[in-house]
């Protein structure tokens, strides 16, 4: 059974139940039960109409749960309990679900979890495993999120920025357990791109594809491999080509956004045969565009690296002026630029400081090795 295909049906089925009168939380619970049932029975007895089957079983689960609740309260629930309660409509509520699951009232962690379950069709156990937390913890997080958005209207806000941030958060989690969250984020972003003509959605999809294309070369034996040292022959050229094509179509719309600008930078890296042959001047120009859109300190930090490559390390160090030294990666960037400027002793000290502050073991190991590599040998 194609589990990805089954998960793609989940948001549409939830939408159908909501349109039939179910509250979102109850509909989502019912569809999850139907999904689990499908995973158990479809390998040996696949239905002819997968979507219709899921709708029928989920509606029956919803009716059973509602009747149990109303019976407990001593009230009658007047609704047809047959699973064939009306034809399966062609209306697709996927776009609404994206916005609902990224509701502004939810924390980023809750929005991510709810998106993966309601839009992505993952089970609570799969999400918990991916995020390395107990299933009970993830279940509580999802339950609280559904309660918080109870009663939200079926509207479609015009600004998809929150939805895109949630999808990018999923993508950046990468891979853990039996769920590849980077691949899942790409799948969901493709789905969103098919439901809307917003160029920033295409920009995010292009950015994901261009980053994902380099995935195989980013680590080796658990060690981080910096961009300059990556084996570019291992980059997925088909993903690069697709990402560039999607980006070009988005840029042609002349409605530039931050994800399109980031994707343009990633495309320039993907196009270069080596770090030395990279068009750093154009990358700096794209960082300037990105700064005009975001004014982000992180963007300024990344721009300083590009300036250091385009105009020399001293220019890069000057571009760091005014940035908060406590900004994540600031110390590592300064160390890199000082190394290129020949200030090896100071660079080694800063690499060691950056390693001490690193939040992951691979990053800490990498920075520790960098410190040892550049530290001058003691004089005899």
pLDDT in tens, 203-214: 999 999 999 999
**Long-range contacts: 324-330, Cβ < 8 Å, 24+?**
324/297, 327/297, 327/298, 327/301, 328/298, 329/298, 329/301, 329/354, 330/301
Nearest residue to 335 (alpha-carbon basis) of 327, 344, 326: 344
Mean pLDDT, residues 342-370 taken together: 95
For range 33-44, the mean pLDDT: 87
Domain presence at residue 69:
yes
pLDDT digits (tens, 9 = 90+) for 83-113: 444 555 545 577 888 888 888 888 888 999 9
**Is the predicted pLDDT of residue 143 greater than 70, yes or no?**
yes
CB 62 within 8 A of CB 17: yes
* Residue 178 forms part of a structural domain: no
Q: Which residue range forms the structural domain that includes residue 50?
A: 3-73
- Give this prediction's pTM: 0.84
**Contact yes or no for 352/371 (Cβ under 8 A):** yes
* Domain end among 15, 50, 73: 73
Q: What is the pLDDT of residue 79?
A: 45
Domain count, the chain: 2
Joined together, the tokens standing for residue 356 give 């001490």
Neighbours of 13 (CB within 10 A): 28
Please report the pLDDT score of residue 309 as a whole number.
97
Q: Place 71 in a pLDDT band, splitting at 50, 70 and 90.
A: low
| Mean of pLDDT values over 74-82 | 43
- The answer, yes or no, to whether residue 75 has pLDDT greater than 50, is no
Q: Are 185 and 60 in contact (CB under 8 A)?
A: no
Decide if 12 is inside a domain. Answer: yes
Q: Are 188 and 115 in contact (CB under 8 A)?
A: yes
Task: Supply the mean pLDDT for the chain.
Answer: 88
Domain boundary among 20, 47, 73: 73
In a domain, 97, yes or no: no
Question: Among residues 17, 41, 73, which one ends one of the domains?
Answer: 73
Q: What is the C-alpha to C-alpha distance for residues 262 and 258, in angstroms, rounded to an integer?
A: 6
């Amino acid at each position: 059974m194609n589990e990805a295909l089954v998960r793609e049906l989940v948001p549409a089925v939830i939408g159908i139940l909501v349109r039939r009168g179910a509250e979102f939380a109850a509909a989502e619970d019912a569809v999850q039960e139907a999904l689990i049932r499908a995973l158990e029975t479809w390998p040996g007895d696949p239905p002819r109409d997968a979507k219709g089957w899921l709708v029928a079983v989920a509606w029956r689960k919803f009716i059973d749960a509602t009747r149990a609740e109303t019976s407990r309260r001593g009230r009658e629930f007047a609704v047809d309990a047959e699973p064939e309660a009306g034809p399966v409509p062609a209306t697709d509520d996927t776009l609404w679900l994206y916005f609902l699951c990224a509701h502004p009232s939810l924390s980023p962690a809750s929005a991510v979890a709810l998106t993966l379950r309601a839009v992505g069709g993952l089970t609570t156990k799969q999400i918990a495993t991916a995020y390395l937390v107990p299933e009970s913890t993830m279940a509580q997080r999802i339950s609280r999120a559904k309660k918080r958005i109870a009663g939200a209207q079926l509207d479609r806000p015009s600004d998809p920025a929150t939805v895109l941030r949630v999808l990018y958060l999923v993508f950046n989690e990468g891979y853990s357990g039996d769920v590849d969250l980077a691949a899942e984020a790409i799948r969901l972003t493709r789905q969103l791109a098919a439901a809307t003509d917003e160029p920033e959605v295409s920009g995010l999809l292009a950015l994901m594809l261009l980053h994902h294309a380099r995935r195989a070369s980013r680590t080796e034996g658990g060690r981080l491999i910096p961009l300059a040292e990556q084996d570019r022959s291992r980059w997925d050229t088909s993903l690069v080509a697709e990402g560039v094509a999607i980006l070009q179509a988005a840029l042609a719309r002349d409605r530039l956004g931050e994800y399109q600008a980031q994707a343009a930078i990633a495309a320039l890296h993907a196009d270069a045969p080596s770090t030395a042959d990279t068009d750093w001047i154009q990358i700096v120009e794209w960082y300037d565009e990105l700064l005009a859109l975001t004014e982000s300190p992180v963007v300024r930090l990344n721009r300083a690296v590009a300036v250091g490559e385009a105009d020399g390390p001293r220019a890069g160090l000057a571009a760091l002026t005014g940035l908060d030294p406590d900004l994540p990666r600031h110390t590592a960037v300064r160390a890199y630029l000082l190394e290129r400027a020949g200030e090896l002793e100071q660079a080694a000290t800063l690499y060691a400081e950056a390693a001490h502050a690193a939040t992951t073991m691979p990053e800490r190991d990498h920075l520790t090795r960098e410190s040892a590599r550049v530290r001058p040998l003691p004089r005899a």
